A = this chain, B = another copy of it.
Amino acid sequence: MKQYIEQNRQRFLDELFSILRIPSVSAQAEHRPDMYACAERLCTLLLEAGADKAGIWETDGNPVVFGEKIIDPKARTVLVYGHYDVQPAEPLEKWRTEPFEPVLGPDPATGEEAVWGRGANDDKGQLFMHIKAFEYMLGKSLLRHNVKFIFEGEEEIGSPSLPAWIKKHKKMLAADICLVSDTTMISEKVPSINCGMRGLSYLEVKVTGPNKDLHSGHYGGAVANPIQVLCEMISSLIDSDGRVTVPGFYDKVVELSRSERKMLARAPFDLKEYKDFLGIREVRGEKGYTTGERTGIRPCLDVCGIWGGYTGEGAKTVLPSEAHAKISMRLVPNQRSAEISELFAKHFKAIAPRCVKVEVTPCEGGDGFLIPVSSSAYKAASRAISEVYGIEPVPSRGGGSIAVLAEVQKILGMDPLLMGFGLERDTIHSPNESYLLRQLFGGMESIALFYSYWEPTAL
């Protein structure tokens, strides 16, 4: 496929840029029309690549794009999953380029060419690889599998509408494997295939003290300050061993055996490199686990946002009425998102002192999952990546969450296969998201080879 990429390089980039330009931010209601614009563009790209059909399907939320090519009803079917929604671009002032004006440019550190813009990797860049690998295989008459595409527009807000839609269209979506590129490789030098992802519980909390903002001179010292109470409550959520204090939080966590931990520890990891990349002097996390384990096999709790009182320029002396925070918990098998959200809400209310009122609103959630490394699809993917990267990929555990994949596994009864080509340097979800051309094109090649190496019928 290398040659095909070289011949079509400019067209590929033009097509990718055309979807990156659409600000399809699912968390912000004002972008609702952009969701449709992006979905339509993807339909066009699928049809141009050779799909028999492709269309927009309404859900209770943002639309789903579904397209397919049936080569042989008896052959194996690959269901390609991706998402065309992106994270908000904020904080805008930290971007070096416009988030929705994609450009090609060198990495400031290495000089390597990359695509810069929101969604360059997550997940527009990665789902684009599938469209192009499909176009190549089909165009060269190499495709032996049936391929179905499902691109959703709500992954970044926890896919609230997709499970119901999938349940309704089980037959249409029937396939043998759910192929996904929405994850990262362990490092630039070490390709990997994710064989597990964390689940997620995301909640918003609000602490209310007095019924109005007060003059901090007239009331300070006598009336509980909701910001301070929120800080106390948040700081009590993790103990000195780095463990989450919500009662029952760890009850269902699957503890890995020593040999399982040993296998995962084979993934190369350089703590100094890691700290240098992040600009930190020390890592911090749950006692008794390595950095890799802390994100791979252990659950955690993070405050993703906090706000309250006066946050503008200068000094305003106020004892505010309210303080807010957004709290995410990453979950591992067999923690259930709904149950953990409930445990959290109950605990957070229980620890609130009487001088404040507390509200907890669940925002998003999804369960974690594991993928067997013994399947023929996993082996084909491993062989494909080995050939492109010259090194066998390591089975790894991703710390992130693709909420809906656990649902796919449950509803459609098929395992996901996570061929992700992102790198940590891509800083997805952050300003200056980018995707190396090397990975964009290497991913396409690997996906095309996967189709070649995976037998189109079960032996």
- Contact B28 A314, beta carbon cutoff 8 Å: yes
User: Which stretch of A43-51, A125-133, A303-311, A335-343 is in the interface?
Assistant: A303-311
Name the B residues within 8 Å of A428 (CB-CB): 215
Name the B residues within 8 Å of A393 (CB-CB): none
25 pairs of residues in contact across A and B, judged by CB atoms under 8 Å: A27-B313, A27-B316, A88-B314, A214-B278, A214-B427, A219-B278, A220-B330, A221-B286, A221-B295, A222-B283, A222-B285, A222-B294, A227-B234, A227-B325, A228-B234, A231-B303, A303-B309, A304-B318, A304-B319, A306-B306, A306-B308, A309-B326, A310-B326, A311-B324, A315-B326
Number of copies: 2
Within 8 A of B (CB), among A263-299: 278-286, 291, 294-295, 298-299
How distant is the Cα of A249 from the Cα of B218 in the complex, in angstroms? 20
How distant is the Cα of A363 from the Cα of B313 in the complex, in angstroms? 10
A400 close to B (CB within 8 Å): yes
Name the B residues within 8 Å of A303 (CB-CB): 225, 227-228, 231, 308-309
Assess A308 versus B310: contact at CB under 8 Å? Given A280-B355, A300-B221, A318-B430. no
How distant is the Cα of A212 from the Cα of B228 in the complex, in angstroms? 26
- Contact A158 B315, beta carbon cutoff 8 Å: yes
A211 close to B (CB within 8 Å): yes
Given contacts A88-B312, A220-B328, A224-B284, 6 further A-B contacts (CB under 8 A): A200-B317, A216-B302, A220-B295, A221-B330, A222-B291, A224-B282
Closest to A204 in B: B315
A223 close to B (CB within 8 Å): yes
Within 8 A of B (CB), among A212-270: 212-225, 227-228, 230-232, 234-236, 238, 242
A431 close to B (CB within 8 Å): yes
How distant is the Cα of A184 from the Cα of B218 in the complex, in angstroms? 9
How distant is the Cα of A299 from the Cα of B216 in the complex, in angstroms? 12
- Contact B283 A87, beta carbon cutoff 8 Å: no
Closest to A309 in B: B305
A58 close to B (CB within 8 Å): no
How distant is the Cα of A218 from the Cα of B278 in the complex, in angstroms? 12
- Contact B284 A223, beta carbon cutoff 8 Å: yes
Within 8 A of B (CB), among A1-37: 26-29
Name the B residues within 8 Å of A427 (CB-CB): 212-214
A401 close to B (CB within 8 Å): yes
A364 close to B (CB within 8 Å): yes
Name the B residues within 8 Å of A222 (CB-CB): 283-285, 291, 294-295, 300, 399
Closest to A211 in B: B279
How distant is the Cα of A210 from the Cα of B430 in the complex, in angstroms? 12
Closest to A238 in B: B228
Least Cβ distance of A421 to chain B in Å? 15
Assess A429 versus B184: contact at CB under 8 Å? Given A284-B353, A309-B304. no
Binding site for B on A (CB under 8 A): 26-29, 87-88, 90-91, 94, 156-158, 184, 198, 200, 202, 209-225, 227-228, 230-232, 234-236, 238, 242, 278-286, 291, 294-295, 298-320, 323-326, 328, 330, 353-356, 363-364, 398-401, 424, 427-432
- Contact B27 A314, beta carbon cutoff 8 Å: yes
- Contact B29 A220, beta carbon cutoff 8 Å: no
Residue of A224, A313, A314, A430 contacting most chain B CB atoms (<10 Å):
A314
How distant is the Cα of A300 from the Cα of B215 in the complex, in angstroms? 13
Interchain residue pairs A-B with the least CB separation, the first 8 = A221-B300, A217-B400, A27-B314, A211-B279, A305-B309, A213-B430, A224-B284, A231-B231
How distant is the Cα of A77 from the Cα of B290 in the complex, in angstroms? 74
Residue of A91, A215, A227 contacting most chain B CB atoms (<10 Å):
A215
Contact of A305 among B310, B328, B432 (CB under 8 A): B310
Contact of A231 among B221, B235, B291, B400 (CB under 8 A): B235
Assess A278 versus B211: contact at CB under 8 Å? Given A216-B304, A235-B235. yes
- Contact A300 B220, beta carbon cutoff 8 Å: yes
- Contact A26 B209, beta carbon cutoff 8 Å: no
- Contact A221 B294, beta carbon cutoff 8 Å: yes
- Contact A311 B307, beta carbon cutoff 8 Å: yes
- Contact B316 A87, beta carbon cutoff 8 Å: yes
